[in-house]
Amino acid sequence: MRALGLDVGSKTIGVAISDPDGVIASARQTLPRQGNGPDAAAIAAMVAREAVMRVVVGFPLELDGRVGHRARQVQRFIDALTPALAGLAPPVGVEAWDERFSTAAAERTLLSADVSRAKRKQHIDAVAAQHILQGWLDGRERRGGG
């Protein structure tokens, strides 16, 4: 099952996609934010084009697990995305996934690959989306959903 992972920020959305078998996540691109409605429409078009069955949205909980300001902003995006995907067939599910530390993990990945500061800035959100999606894929496998 192909899945799309999203790291939704205030200025950009990092996008990652899995292979068709839903085993490996790859960073895809970073989209500039246009607003929840236009962003949801752009993601829905990508979902249709790529035959995605599940969208995994990074949910930025606070360190203590509480839902804070950033998580509420992401929830508003999810609330716009869900109806944008509703008309697709087959139905596409949306799932929030705890993304605490995904940006830090993405930064470590890019640093270990010796990526320059300028290139890290360009790719950090897509790599964070990759970490979010890979975490969901790995967790799905552990839960027996593979």
* Paired tokens of 131: 């970490």
How far CA 83 is from CA of 8, 91, 115, 133, in Å, comes to 17, 11, 38, 21
The answer to whether the beta carbons of residues 136 and 145 sit under 8 Å apart is: no
Q: What is the model's pLDDT at position 103?
A: 61
Question: What pLDDT, in 10s, does the model give residues 52-61?
Answer: 999 999 999 8
Residue 139 to residue 119: CA distance in whole angstroms? 30
Question: What average pLDDT does the segment 69-97 reach?
Answer: 95
Distance CA 135, CA 146 (A): 13
Q: What is the pLDDT of residues 106-136, one digit of tens each?
A: 566 656 665 566 655 656 789 899 989 999 9
- pLDDT of amino acid 106: 55
Q: How far apart are CA 21 and CA 113, in angstroms?
A: 26
Q: Provide the mean pLDDT of the chain.
A: 87
> Could you give the angle at the alpha carbon of 77 between the alpha carbons of 1 and 111, nearest 5°?
70
CATH of domain 3-142: 3.30.420.140
pLDDT tens digits, residue range 1-32?
Answer: 999 999 999 999 999 999 999 999 999 999 99
Q: How far apart are CA 114 and CA 108, in angstroms?
A: 10
